[in-house]
C-alpha cells in the first residue's frame, strides 16, 4: 500500500464528502435509517475503498481480495454509497435503500449485493466473523488482509470481548479492526449508559496492538494501517475518533440522530452544508 500524496489526500477528502451527500439523499428517499454513524464514518470508507483495500469491483469474488466486515450493520448506507462509487453497482440503485425487494436492505445481507462480505445486524458478531476469515487465511497462507469495522456501543456486548480474547490468543496479525469511537448510541452517550474506557488499555491487555487516530484524517488512517501491516505477532485495533453526523451542524455529536433520517427540509439544509464543506475542501488544497 502506497502512502498518500497531496492530490490523493484531496481526492479522498472530497470523496468522503460525496459519500455524505449520497447518504443524505438515500435516507430522505427511504424515510428511515441511521444518519449520525454513516456521516461520521464517511472519511474512513472513502479511504478504505479508494486507497487501502485490495479489491476489484469487476471481480467481486476475486479470491485474493481483502475482506471488509461491517459489524455495525446499521451504518450500511455509507458502505452502499462507497460500493456504488467504487463501481460495484449503479449509483441509481442507492435510491432504493430499504424499499420493498431492494438489494439495499436496512442491514447488509451477504449474497444480495456484490462487495458485501457478511450479513450483519445483531451487534457484537462482526469481529467473530472477521476472526474466522483471518484464521482461515492464516491456515491457507494467504496474503489477503481482513478488516473489521466496529461501533463503540457494541463493545457493551459480551461476545465482542470473547472475540477480542480469541484473536489475541491466536496472534491474528492479518486482522485489523477499526473502531468508530463516536461516543453515542441510540439511547444516549456511551460513557453515561455503560462506560467503555479505558478501551486502549483493555485491548492491550488482550494482546492487541492499539493505535488511536483522527477518523476524519485519511493520512492518519493510511499510516495506522501501514503500521498494522508491519506488526507480525498480534492483531491491531485502530481506535478512530469521529464526530457523529460529521458535516451537518444540526446532527453533529447529537445521539438523537443515531437512528433517524432527515425529513425533506432537514435534508435540503444538510446538503447545502455539505456542498459548502466540499467547496472548502477544494479551496484548502488549491
Residue 274's alpha-carbon distances to 3, 26, 247, 270, 280, in angstroms, are 27, 15, 6, 6, 10
Phi and psi angles of residue 166, each rounded to the nearest 5 degrees, phi first: -65, -45
d(C-alpha 192, C-alpha 103), whole Å: 36
Do residues 217 and 43 make contact, with C-beta atoms less than 8 angstroms apart? yes
Q: Which residues of the chain have pLDDT under 70?
A: 286
Per DSSP, 167 falls in state H
Look up residue 130 and give its three cell numbers: 472477521
pLDDT value of residue 286: 67
In angstroms, how far is CA 116 from the centroid of its own chain? 13
Do residues 262 and 23 make contact, with C-beta atoms less than 8 angstroms apart? no
Each residue's pLDDT tens digit, 79-101:
999 999 999 999 999 999 999 99
Half-sphere exposure of 194 (CA within 13 A, CB side): 10
User: In this structure, are strands 146-151 and 184-185 parallel, antiparallel, or unpaired?
Assistant: unpaired
d(C-alpha 180, C-alpha 228), whole Å: 17
pLDDT value of residue 3: 85
pLDDT value of residue 76: 97
d(C-alpha 2, C-alpha 56), whole Å: 17
Domains of the chain with bracketed CATH? 6-284 (3.40.50.970)
Do residues 39 and 77 make contact, with C-beta atoms less than 8 angstroms apart? no
If residue 80 lies in a helix (H) or strand (E), which one and from where to where?
Answer: helix 76-86
DSSP readout, 213-243?
EETT-HHHHHHHHHHHHH--SS-EEEEEE--
d(C-alpha 158, C-alpha 61), whole Å: 32
Amino acid at each position: 500500500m502506497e502512502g498518500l500524496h497531496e492530490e490523493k489526500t484531496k481526492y479522498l477528502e472530497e470523496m468522503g464528502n460525496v459519500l455524505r451527500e449520497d447518504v443524505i439523499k438515500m435516507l430522505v428517499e427511504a424515510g428511515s435509517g441511521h444518519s449520525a454513524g454513516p456521516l461520521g464514518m464517511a472519511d474512513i470508507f472513502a479511504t478504505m475503498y479508494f486507497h487501502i483495500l485490495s479489491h476489484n469491483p469487476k471481480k467481486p469474488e476475486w479470491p485474493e481480495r481483502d475482506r471488509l466486515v461491517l459489524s455495525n450493520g446499521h451504518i450500511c448506507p455509507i458502505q452502499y454509497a462507497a460500493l456504488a462509487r467504487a463501481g460495484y453497482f449503479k449509483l441509481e440503485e442507492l435510491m432504493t435503500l430499504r424499499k420493498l425487494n431492494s438489494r439495499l436492505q436496512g442491514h447488509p445481507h451477504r449474497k444480495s449485493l456484490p462487495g458485501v462480505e457478511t450479513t450483519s445486524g445483531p451487534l457484537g458478531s462482526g469481529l467473530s466473523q472477521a476472526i474466522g476469515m483471518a484464521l482461515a487465511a492464516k491456515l491457507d497462507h494467504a496474503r489477503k488482509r481482513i478488516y473489521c469495522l466496529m461501533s463503540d456501543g457494541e463493545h457493551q456486548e459480551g461476545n465482542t470481548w470473547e472475540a477480542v480474547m480469541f484473536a489475541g490468543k491466536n496472534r491474528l496479525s492479518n486482522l485489523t479492526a477499526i473502531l468508530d469511537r463516536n461516543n453515542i448510541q441510540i439511547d444516549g452517550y456511551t460513557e453515561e449508559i455503560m462506560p467503555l474506557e479505558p478501551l486502549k488499555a483493555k485491548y492491550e491487555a488482550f494482546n492487541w496492538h492499539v493505535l488511536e487516530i483522527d477518523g476524519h484524517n485519511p493520512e492518519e488512517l493510511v499510516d495506522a494501517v501501514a503500521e498494522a501491516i508491519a506488526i507480525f505477532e498480534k492483531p491491531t485495533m485502530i481506535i478512530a475518533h469521529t464526530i457523529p453526523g460529521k458535516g451537518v451542524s444540526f446532527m453533529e455529536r447529537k445521539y438523537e440522530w443515531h437512528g433517524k433520517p432527515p425529513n425533506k427540509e432537514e435534508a435540503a439544509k444538510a446538503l447545502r452544508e455539505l456542498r459548502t464543506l466540499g467547496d472548502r475542501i477544494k479551496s484548502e488544497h488549491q
